[in-house]
Structure 1
Amino acid sequence: MPLPPAAARHGTDVRTALSEAWAAHPPTDARAATRELRTRLLARPPYEEAAFLLDLADTHGLQPLRAGEVARWTAGDRRVRHAALRYLSGVPHGGALLDAVPPRGGDVYENLLWAAAWHRQDPSAPQAAAFRDAVRRLPATPPGGPVVAQSMLLGSLGEPGVGMSGGMSVLLSALGDALTATGRISRVLTLVTAGRTALRDRASGLVSPLGPEHWQVGIPVDGDGSPDPAAMAEHRPAVSWWAACLLALPGARPRIVHVRFADDGSLAVADAARRCGARPAFTVTPDPHRTMAERHAGLPLHAETETARALRADLHRVFVADRLVARAGLLVTIPSRPGTGDLDTHFPQLSPATESRRVEVPEGIPPFVPRPGDAGLADAMTTRLFSGGGRPDGLDPEDRGLRLMLCVGRLHPVKQQDRLVEAWLDTGLYRSTTLLLVGGSPGRATAVEAGVRDAIAKLLAGQPLGRRRIALWPALPNRQVRILERALAEGRAGSAVYVCPSAKEEFGLAVLEAMDAGLAAAGPERGGVPHYIRDGVNGFLLDTGSGTALGAGLLSVCATPQTELDALAARAMRTVRRSYSVEAMAESLARAYTAVP
């Protein structure tokens, strides 16, 4: 696959496309490819292109430059310096130059990168000690079935509802434990990102236990925290290299590496899987495909407009999804509304020939296990809730008899909490109901979270009664959310319903948790929620495509008599407990994983 002249300097999307072209059509003549890379690198390309070319060579096991010829790239731009260290880790005699360019003092990321590069050169070298210490807790693989890795590179595994952390963090935490409990999987590795702050603070290093043979493995990133989704492409080469180093450890070496998002982080992990001889699995969903037309139709698309950038971002995600489908040895699909066939519509490459590597697996939630003290915590939360409408996180005690609408989730435009508030106000429901929103960082908000909060504040401006009847809470630990939902279902705060106003939910784990708690739940008709909610039977389906449509749905939900809501909630609870447990999900996935050749 020839390299277009200077194409690699035209942006991250172009570099991703070029990398994928090489992955799809690896050079049949390694000598010719090596010569071309050598010619380009010796021509002193710009720093950005040099980093790309060095990473491209290392990813495909090519060595266009000898160790000494890389010296020019080790003292300049940080990105190319790090690319040079990654490249030197795989070149004969690279250790000599690594020793000549020691890491910069106090730079926690670069120190660990240098040690990991030495570990790849010689795992027993004294220079590799820092990397050995960071991964020392991972023991030898136990006997039994294969090792499985699963990734969640955006957000934090332990903070659902904060930043980019949502239901996936809850799901993967429980799923890893459930997979090993099946007896078919010997170990699960959950891959997360570890920014510079985490690298400084984590005394346990990059590896820590989450459950019996379930391990969290941190992939270092050169940033203060988890990368922003828009910036993940910049981190792709480094994430791929780090993941390959970590997955090659004696206690790792997975057979299956499962990614679930159509983004550059998933491509990086899929690249690492290929380098380690593992088979990628991909959860394929029509996101953002199903909303492309309505989001972009008729909008101005001049090159530098925000709408044009948004379209390019969505088209890039479509490209990434197509590449992951092509790479995957196992395609996992999530059930959606019966009869829609939207997956095959948006992925025409899913022909009958792919049936042998496709499996449909409904997602599930772990059972709630009561503990001593739950009742006290429930009372404390309901007391906090009705602490006074003059507080942004409180409601007036005299409003306890009004119907309460609860919404839990990360603060993000796709979750549409601002549209929910708008519909609640426009329909006048604020006069007869209260609203509790739970989600977002408890400390410093991300830019996205701040944008949602600002939108809600503008809607409430000039609405004194509305402001007194809405409570805004930051994200809570998942167990506390489930205790709160049970307290609401028991009527400790009056009658309550759960509302998910998202533009779409691929499956809607938070909706399942509310149903399991005994709350009547309403969720979007677009996505996976219709697979388990039958409108008016065990829940409500909402048109969330506009504030007007959402408002009409909310009016209908709130007009439902309490006796009907109670019966509907009881049917919802039975639905979840019968068919949507994480244990059932783990059994299905374990069978699928072990069947992959």
Structure 2
Amino acid sequence: MGIQTTLDAVATAPRIIDAIRLADDLALEARRDPGVRTIRVLAAAIAGTDQVSAIAAVHALAALFDEQASRSLSRLLSDERPFIREHAAWALGETLPRFDAIGRLLSLVADGGFTGMLAQTTLENWSGAVGETLAVAIDAALLGVEGTPARTRLVETLGLVRQPIAERRLLEIALDEKEHEDVRVAAVAALGQRPDGARIADHLEHLVGGEGRLAEVARLAVIDLQVVTRRPTETDGGLTVAQLFLHADIDPTLASAGAGDNGGIATLLVRLGDALVADPAAHVERVLTLSRGPVPQAAADLLSVGSDTGHVYGHVPLAPSAVPSAAAWPLRVTARRGIRRLLRAAGRVDVLHLRMADVGSLAAVDVARELGIPVVFTVAPDPHSIIQSLDRSGELTRATFGDVDRREHFWFRMRLVQNLAANAAHTVLFPRPELARDMRELVGIDVGSHPERHTIVAEGVDLDVVDRAVVDASAHALDPTRDERFADLHALTEALPPHRRGLPIIASVGRLHRVKGMATLVEAWASSPLSERANLLIIGGDLDNPSLDEREQLERIDVVVPPSTRNAAGLLLVGHRPNDVAARWLAAVRFGVPGLIAPNGVYVCASLKEEFGIALLEAMATGLTVVAPDAGGPATYVEDGITGVLTATWDPAQLTGAVSTALDLAARGDESLTRRAHDMVAARFTIQGMAAALGPVYRGVAASEAELLRAVGPVA
């Protein structure tokens, strides 16, 4: 097509999502014609006001194996626009090392954040060729940096230099009692990755015997230095499947479900792991579920993940305090180290199942590549669907995309999805009304080209939990004094003004995150007649110690319903509850509580996008009429106008109308529809059904890997 024609296509693409996908074509055309004019055309686009085209041009520069292009890309590290600096730091990782860029990349590393992670990744890519130069540059940078966070990040980067020159300096820092503990911890953790294990372990011996965080990390580093036997080429007995979600403190009891990032995925992994090992047909002997956790727990887990069967939990120490997923990218190195430690300790892992375009998957795929573990990846158009929704609503434009991208990392996450899908041994897809079209147009995957590599698997819910909740709530509606497990719900509704007691409830369960639309739901309810028709119950979020994402949603909610007026307005903002408690409360929304809650309330999912919707399915199984997004997974199981209402949830007016319609549908009290919804979930969307569908996928991937090993033998 030519560089100018392709750039024009990027600039005139009807949707932002289309323009981003065309960036690959722009890079290809640049590589085909690496001339002076190509560089000028790209430079003009970078200087323009179309931020999407500017970013595409930055990455196209990296595709040119040309000294002038490389020099131009390096100069962009000093551009006045932060989003250009960020993408230049990322794009440079695809080029040959440039000595004139090392200092500025280290400055970005010291500053931290997502941009710092990208700069660090680029330097790691370069370290194989210019490791000694990089080590000297880091040492020099440390002389001029006093702040603890910056020094910690620089020392962590020094640990990525494989050449022996880095080892001496890391040991000096690790043993220097004048250094801040955080800096020493970074050095000690990095030493655990060095090849000369026995000698380094001797140096760390006196730290191991101490107390506190430094000693705990030193003990893990010594474990990391131990030689682990290579995984066998043949598997005996059932499979070992690893799955992870690092943004939650996952525990078998699901006590913190709904707090921070402990959303539906955390619930799903607990229930799915249990179902896989309980199903003989799945042929899964062990499921290893990885999540975040403290350093002492990480050390204790190493014994169980290496010896126990069944559903085993391992924890990756990320940071002293929980970090929301959007801010966790700088923990890439720490996450990779913790995942590697657990998968090595497991002895044999046949399949690693990744599901998210997040730092956990970014780190885990590196470990899987190193250890030779095949990956199954669940592909979803995320963040593609979010970009599409924001584009349609006008909240995201070409003139603002780069600035928004610095916060949301849309471009990087899209590329991560693309790379994970392209390199996976098998991909799993959610059911969608137009699955093939959406995968092709949003993600760029043609599922028809190699259908044997793709499997459609619906997520599932634990119907036993839902059915017990329905039994409990229906009995409680007949005799509200008999079940103390509803006491907290009684107290909440008794605190409402008399005129609000006895109204039905609009309920929603989930994380307090912009994508989940909780603040949008409150705004739509509070500013419409809905507030007079029903009370609003929001279950989810850590109200006492909110994360940044939760705080943003709470601040928006407080604008329309100040905390002091919540009861008077009928807003029940209750924070997260254990999964079984949330299930009983949803059942009470259906059956009511005499004098406090009218029966036939509704459930609302106001998410910008919902790839599938575990909480929605639980609500439908409970017998509630639901409101759901009109795109993605919910459109495959919500019967619009019958079991629920599908709507453009990003539009407050349409959301308001949909909730009103749902209340009208629910008020009919049609028991045949509640049975219909329950039976639909029982037939198509149980956790046992999900496990049965994934079992053959895992067996097929493991068998193919074993065949490869028999054919070519282990790679030295």
Query: TM-score interval w.r.t. the shorter chain?
Result: 0.7 to 0.9
Is the contact made by 1:67 and 1:88 (CA closer than 8 Å) also made in structure 2?
A: yes
Q: How many pairs does the alignment contain? A: 558
1:258 shift after superposition:
1.3
Separation of aligned partners in 2, 1:510 and 1:561: 18
Is the contact made by 1:364 and 1:583 (CA closer than 8 Å) also made in structure 2?
A: yes
Match of 1:581 among 677, 680, 686: 686
Match of 2:415 among 297, 312, 319: 319
1:96 shift after superposition:
3.1
Provide the secondary structure at the position in 2 that maps to 1:189. Answer: strand
Deviations 1:358-401 (A, max 9, x none): 21110001122539988679844655435476x8xx43466454
The correspondence of residues 129-148 of structure 1 with structure 2, limited to 5 A, is 144-148=237-241
Counterpart residue identity of residue 668, structure 2: T
- Residue equivalent to 2:648: 543
- Residue equivalent to 1:229: 325
- Residue equivalent to 2:275: 178
Is the contact made by 1:498 and 1:520 (CA closer than 8 Å) also made in structure 2?
A: yes
- Residue equivalent to 2:218: 114
Match of 2:584 among 480, 483, 496: 483
- Residue equivalent to 2:603: 498
- Residue equivalent to 1:452: 553
1:420 shift after superposition:
1.4
Matched, 1:37 2:131: yes
Deviations 1:215-242 (A, max 9, x none): 1101122322x33223322211121122
Match of 1:268 among 353, 356, 363: 363
Separation of aligned partners in 2, 1:104 and 1:585: 44
Deviations 1:113-136 (A, max 9, x none): 322222233479xxxxxxxxxxxx
Provide the secondary structure at the position in 1 that maps to 2:223. Answer: helix
The correspondence of residues 522-533 of structure 1 with structure 2, limited to 5 A, is 522-533=627-638
- Residue equivalent to 1:361: 457
Counterpart residue identity of residue 519, structure 1: L
The correspondence of residues 11-50 of structure 1 with structure 2, limited to 5 A, is 11=109, 13=114, 34=128, 36-43=130-137, 44=139, 46-47=141-142
- Residue equivalent to 2:108: 10
Separation of aligned partners in 1, 2:679 and 2:401: 52
- Residue equivalent to 1:507: 612
Matched, 1:187 2:286: yes
1:148 shift after superposition:
0.6
Match of 1:154 among 247, 265, 270: 247
Match of 2:316 among 202, 205, 219: 219
Separation of aligned partners in 2, 1:481 and 1:568: 22
Deviations 1:67-126 (A, max 9, x none): 5464345345767645543453354544434433543997644323322222233479xx
Separation of aligned partners in 2, 1:309 and 1:92: 36
TM-score, structure 2 as length reference: 0.70
Provide the secondary structure at the position in 1 that maps to 2:683. Answer: helix
Is the contact made by 1:536 and 1:568 (CA closer than 8 Å) also made in structure 2?
A: no
1:565 shift after superposition:
4.7
Deviations 1:181-226 (A, max 9, x none): 2231110000011136xx38x99656769x97101101122322x3
Identify the range of structure 1 (318-327 vs 493-502) with the bigger mean alpha-carbon deviation. 318-327
Deviations 1:288-314 (A, max 9, x none): 1122252553375498x6x45335x22
Counterpart residue identity of residue 441, structure 2: T
- Residue equivalent to 2:37: none
User: Kindly tell me: are residues 73 and 561 of structure 1, through their superposed partners in 2, closer, same or farther at Cα, counting changes over 3 Å?
Assistant: closer
The correspondence of residues 416-427 of structure 1 with structure 2, limited to 5 A, is 416-427=517-528
Identify the range of structure 1 (546-555 vs 341-350) with the bigger mean alpha-carbon deviation. 341-350
- Residue equivalent to 1:432: 533
1:429 shift after superposition:
1.6
Deviations 1:325-346 (A, max 9, x none): 2332221111123467222212
Separation of aligned partners in 2, 1:56 and 1:113: 17
Separation of aligned partners in 2, 1:465 and 1:2: 58
Is the contact made by 2:430 and 2:633 (CA closer than 8 Å) also made in structure 1?
A: yes
From the CA coordinates, give the structure whose radius of gyration is larger: 2
* Structure 2 residues not aligned, in runs of 5+: 1-94, 143-150, 229-233, 705-716
Deviations 1:505-551 (A, max 9, x none): 11110011111112222212132111111212322212211211111
Provide the secondary structure at the position in 2 that maps to 1:437. Answer: strand
Is the contact made by 1:149 and 1:190 (CA closer than 8 Å) also made in structure 2?
A: yes
Deviations 1:154-181 (A, max 9, x none): 0222311111111111110000011112
Separation of aligned partners in 2, 1:503 and 1:522: 13
Counterpart residue identity of residue 411, structure 1: L
- Residue equivalent to 2:625: 520
Is the contact made by 2:586 and 2:619 (CA closer than 8 Å) also made in structure 1?
A: yes
Match of 1:281 among 376, 379, 388: 376
Separation of aligned partners in 1, 2:191 and 2:223: 12
- Residue equivalent to 1:137: none
Separation of aligned partners in 2, 1:56 and 1:521: 50
User: Kindly tell me: are residues 350 and 19 of structure 1, through their superposed partners in 2, closer, same or farther at Cα, counting changes over 3 Å?
Assistant: farther
Matched, 1:166 2:259: no
Match of 1:412 among 513, 522, 525: 513
Is the contact made by 1:182 and 1:587 (CA closer than 8 Å) also made in structure 2?
A: yes
Separation of aligned partners in 1, 2:360 and 2:536: 36
**Relative to total residues, which structure has the larger helix share, 1 or 2?**
2
Counterpart residue identity of residue 537, structure 1: I
1:354 shift after superposition:
4.8
Counterpart residue identity of residue 273, structure 1: A
- Residue equivalent to 2:337: 241
What value does the CA root-mean-square deviation take over the aligned residues?
A: 3.6
Separation of aligned partners in 2, 1:92 and 1:451: 45
Separation of aligned partners in 2, 1:162 and 1:257: 26
Deviations 1:469-523 (A, max 9, x none): 2222121110111122223333433221111111111111001111111222221
- Residue equivalent to 2:572: 471
Identity of aligned residues (%): 27
Match of 2:668 among 558, 563, 576: 563
Provide the secondary structure at the position in 1 that maps to 2:463. Answer: coil
User: Kindly tell me: are residues 51 and 358 of structure 1, through their superposed partners in 2, closer, same or farther at Cα, counting changes over 3 Å?
Assistant: farther
Deviations 1:33-56 (A, max 9, x none): 745212321443535785465454
User: Kindly tell me: are residues 428 and 212 of structure 1, through their superposed partners in 2, closer, same or farther at Cα, counting changes over 3 Å?
Assistant: farther
Matched, 1:99 2:202: yes
1:149 shift after superposition:
0.5
Is the contact made by 2:515 and 2:609 (CA closer than 8 Å) also made in structure 1?
A: yes
Is the contact made by 1:104 and 1:111 (CA closer than 8 Å) also made in structure 2?
A: yes
Counterpart residue identity of residue 419, structure 1: T
Separation of aligned partners in 2, 1:300 and 1:424: 32
User: Kindly tell me: are residues 39 and 299 of structure 1, through their superposed partners in 2, closer, same or farther at Cα, counting changes over 3 Å?
Assistant: closer
TM-score, structure 1 as length reference: 0.82
1:581 shift after superposition:
0.5
User: Kindly tell me: are residues 205 and 435 of structure 1, through their superposed partners in 2, closer, same or farther at Cα, counting changes over 3 Å?
Assistant: same
Separation of aligned partners in 2, 1:442 and 1:302: 31
Provide the secondary structure at the position in 2 that maps to 1:559. Answer: helix
